[in-house]
Chain A
């Protein structure tokens, strides 16, 4: 089993909580610079400890993440992370210019000598406010963009594209990806529609902001559809993202995390008007109840119980990982390290030295 270190590059200073878009009156560029340096340091440390991948994502307009453009952070990582693969998990493709996305991925694959993992996401509904895109068109835009990106990577001659949402008269990207025919692609696959699309297009599946029961159902759906399409996903075709915090003992881990302030609602769901509009737009597809439930706020103990959070001593965390492996068959865990300051660094060290080597047994 493999481990990815996921870093949001959180803003490490005082900022308004529970409001999105987040006002910037309290913003400090010194704090932001320190936050970026801290993120790069964590990711470098993860690489040195032997994490198989490092990962970054796209979030806008809040102190939760200083990576509205994960490609930029990934560009910095190409010079800092020397062994691990660099996974973009990932750009919110329906918001973006697909040709630009194809170009950026190709640049990153070239800069890393072929270590890129190309995650392509639909993102959360609030992100669609950012660039004025209708979340109801998210899925159609995503499907078309993905076909265009793959064509941009593989077509040997300049070509145009006459799509529904994207139109170009000439595409001929330089550089080209190092990995052939292209870097591995993952997409978020928590909804049944996404699982079907991933299966039909031979893509890897990423699951985030979910629980093990929801993920198990989504993975089973994906695998069943893949079999109908004539292929069988490997374990490494499934990435499961969750939180993690390791301390010297279970009690210390629980105390450290319980004492940290926890937001009442995820920042991505903080704007009720946006959430209501998203609900009415059709963004969630045919399994609205399931999509809302997997994102629902939960107390810490329930998060641990449902496999959203690994928490405890190294042995306890390893046992939790083994259980998740048995339940999901996922080959890659994408780990968002909780905690702050020195305790966070200690947690990274503990995970890297005492848990990660044992994950290879699974």
Chain B
């Protein structure tokens, strides 16, 4: 199920950069304030949500080392070190201030990135985060297991491109390694340090990052805003792209003021 580059989303250009012998691939579209996206365990995927955000932002969707066609980062023996590599990539892009979106276990990477570079962040968004979990065994190890859990509405998704056996085997080994990196006892106690405006979204049908996990994040990050996205599973940006893009875009623009409705409800003048 992990997508390859076979079908890049509309308007997103394939790019790569070199940072200290590490080649990092990414896709980019849009202009304006930068929004950096860190994918989850099932690979880089540019969704309709990213396309919608690109209407108002410069959206950069990274491919984590070792995923897809990207070479692995041998130094990334922990999530914190992986986050450090990604922060170095961001420095190389010279973005100035940016917002960060982490999905699934990408949220764990994003949280470490935020902790290490807090002064550069405008806002932090977590989509179906698998960063602080009671039981990592809920994270499926194989893409075949994942396909049933990613989408509430698989019938609405484009068919996944086929993968070679070699790529599939590599992905499964990588997922196993990522699961091992989930044991990260330092992160929960550090989360209280985060003062960047934060928003966590959970799909009501997510069985990998179930909505009841939202309480864990709110307990550890008392100022984190929580949103439940109705009728969405783990890939909530693919299940309900317009709904997710709308609230994320509003939060990126207004941060905590997003609580107050700004759109007019006037029906006719």
**Interface 9-residue window, one of B63-71, B140-148, B160-168, B239-247:** B239-247
Known A156-B215, A157-B214, A157-B215: A163·B230 in contact at CB below 8 Å: yes
- Beta-carbon contact of A162 and B259 below 8 Å: no
Q: Quick one: CB contact mask for A136-174 with B, threshold 8 Å, 1 for yes? A: 000000001001100100011111111110100110000
List A residues at the B interface (Cβ < 8 Å): 144, 147-148, 151, 155-164, 166, 169-170
Contact of B204 among A147, A169, A170 (CB under 8 A): A147
A160 to B229, CA, bound (A): 9
- Beta-carbon contact of A158 and B226 below 8 Å: yes
Known A147-B204, A157-B215, A169-B258: A162·B226 in contact at CB below 8 Å: no
Of the four ranges (under 10, 10 to 19, 20 to 34, 35 or more), the interface on chain B belongs to: 20 to 34
The 5 closest A-B pairs by CB, nearest first: A163-B230, A160-B227, A157-B218, A159-B226, A162-B243
A170 to B258, CA, bound (A): 10
A sample of 13 inter-chain contacts (CB < 8 A) reads: A147-B230, A157-B226, A159-B228, A160-B228, A161-B227, A161-B228, A162-B201, A162-B227, A162-B229, A162-B240, A163-B231, A169-B225, A169-B261
Given A144-B230, A155-B215, 12 more A-B residue pairs with CB atoms under 8 Å apart are A147-B230, A157-B226, A159-B214, A160-B228, A161-B227, A162-B228, A162-B229, A162-B230, A162-B243, A162-B244, A164-B231, A170-B225
Known A151-B228, A156-B215, A157-B226: A162·B246 in contact at CB below 8 Å: yes
**B201 cross-chain contacts in A, Cβ below 8 A:** 162
B contact patch SS: mixed
Known A147-B204, A169-B258, A169-B259: A160·B226 in contact at CB below 8 Å: yes
B175 to chain A, nearest CB (A): 29
A172 to chain B, nearest CB (A): 10
A166 to B230, CA, bound (A): 9
A166 to B201, CA, bound (A): 16
B153 to chain A, nearest CB (A): 12
A164 to B246, CA, bound (A): 12
B240 to chain A, nearest CB (A): 7
A134 to chain B, nearest CB (A): 15
B214 to chain A, nearest CB (A): 7
A155 to B261, CA, bound (A): 22
A197 to chain B, nearest CB (A): 13
A137 to chain B, nearest CB (A): 14
Known A169-B258, A169-B259: A160·B214 in contact at CB below 8 Å: no
**A166 cross-chain contacts in B, Cβ below 8 A:** 230
- Beta-carbon contact of B230 and A164 below 8 Å: yes
